[in-house]
Amino acid sequence: DEAIHTGQWCVHYRADLEARYVRRLTITTELKRALASEQSELSMVYQPKVDLSTMKVCSMEALIRWNNAVLGFVPPDEFITIAEQAGLIEQVTSWVMRRTIEDLSYFRVKGYRFTVAMNLSTQDIQNKPLLNKLVNLLTEFALYPSSLELEITESDLVADASLAIENLNALTSRGFHFAIDDFGTGYSSLAYLKNLPVNTIKIDKSFILSLATDENDQQIVHTVLGLADAFNLKVVAEGVEDEVSMNILKDWGCDIAQGYFISRPLPRADLEAWLENSPFGE
Ligand code: C2E
Ligand code: MG
Ligand code: MG
Ligand code: MG
């Protein structure tokens, strides 16, 4: 009886492994195709960030979207990880860079002043030719590096500290600004971040989503805000889904808020309408 049980478990386990393997393989193949194709399945959306001292938009986070003919919508968390492992991240980031800077330039021409935040993976931070490409793109569109923010995930940074510091310093001296994404998930401390050329942290949304009701989250966020103030770091809260949370963050001196309460990530055309109609619009 036990043997049959174990046997069944093995079969299920194998089936599950196979399903995951097939999905991973399909994502890799389809992503290669999407990157090579003319009418790309890839697109960018932008999510507003609001300065809590003025209650106006100050920045947009650029987020990639992929709608594939075979797989449908594939979440970026899933395909970015696979792209990193399959050696495709450079191509993905290259595509994101060009599209994001084109869009930033479009909004600058229209007179908007907000900055744009782009997500980079650790591999990108170590890829000098890719970073040179970024510098050249900015030159091509006559934009300053300071009009961009680069977000890097806390856990990536902790895993690869020494190389990262060198490259971060080099980019900072060229005028780039960095933010530590998903802060609170990577087991680093603010004291450690003090040694990096970073002036902004983004508190991970897992601490913010239930801020209005969860006393543990309130205590954590309150403590992080106090320490960040002592270390002179700017704080962004991501995952603000309700007005109560937004007001708590404002009262406690958080600098910037981002979340569905303000807006979901939007394609460029929808973002223009949002900028004109939202009370948070520029
Ligand atoms: P992230 O950089 O931490 O981005 C924030 C994520 O939180 C986004 O998910 C956003 O849609 C989501 N979010 C924002 N506000 C709320 C809210 O109020 N409630 C909830 N439940 N979620 C909220 P998204 O777009 O699915 O991206 C997931 C992750 O994928 C990103 O996390 C980032 O790590 C990665 N990613 C997305 N675009 C890119 C990209 O262009 N390049 C790279 N390297 N990574 C990217
Ligand atoms: Mg981010
Ligand atoms: Mg995040
Ligand atoms: Mg994330």
Nearest to 91 by CA among 129, 146, 46, 50: 129
Query: Which residues are CB-contacts of 228 (< 8 A; sequence separation ≥ 6)?
Result: 190, 201, 234, 235
ipTM rounded to 2 decimals:
0.98
- Identify the pLDDT of residue 270: 98
Q: How much is the average pLDDT of 77-81?
A: 97
The string of pLDDT tens digits covering residues 205-233 is 999 999 999 999 999 999 999 999 998 99
Q: How much is the average pLDDT of 258-275?
A: 97
- Identify the pLDDT of residue 1: 54
The string of pLDDT tens digits covering residues 21-40 is 999 999 999 999 999 997 78
Which atom of ligand 1 lies nearest, measured to the CA of 202? 3
**154 vs 192: CA distance, rounded Å:** 11
- Identify the pLDDT of residue 24: 96
pLDDT range class, residue 126, cuts 50, 70, 90: confident
- In testing the pocket of ligand 1, which one of 63, 81, 134 has its CB within 8 Å of the most ligand atoms? 63
Residue 5 has pLDDT above 70, yes or no: no
**123 vs 200: CA distance, rounded Å:** 21
More confident residue, 17 or 58: 58
Residue 160 has pLDDT above 80, yes or no: no
**256 vs 276: CA distance, rounded Å:** 20
Instruction: Report whether residue 75 contacts ligand 1, using a CB cutoff of 6 Å.
Output: yes
**280 vs 194: CA distance, rounded Å:** 32
pTM: 0.94
Q: How far is the CA of 204 from the centre of ligand 4 (A)?
A: 8
Instruction: Report whether residue 265 contacts ligand 1, using a CB cutoff of 6 Å.
Output: yes
The string of pLDDT tens digits covering residues 176-194 is 999 999 999 887 777 778 7
Mean pLDDT of the chain: 92
Residue 87 has pLDDT above 80, yes or no: yes
Residue 257 has pLDDT above 70, yes or no: yes
Q: How far is the CA of 153 from the centre of ligand 4 (A)?
A: 7
Q: How far is the CA of 20 from the centre of ligand 1 (A)?
A: 22
**Lookup: tokens for 275:** 């900028």
pLDDT range class, residue 111, cuts 50, 70, 90: very high
What is the four-CA torsion angle of 204, 208, 210, 216, rounded to 10 degrees? 80
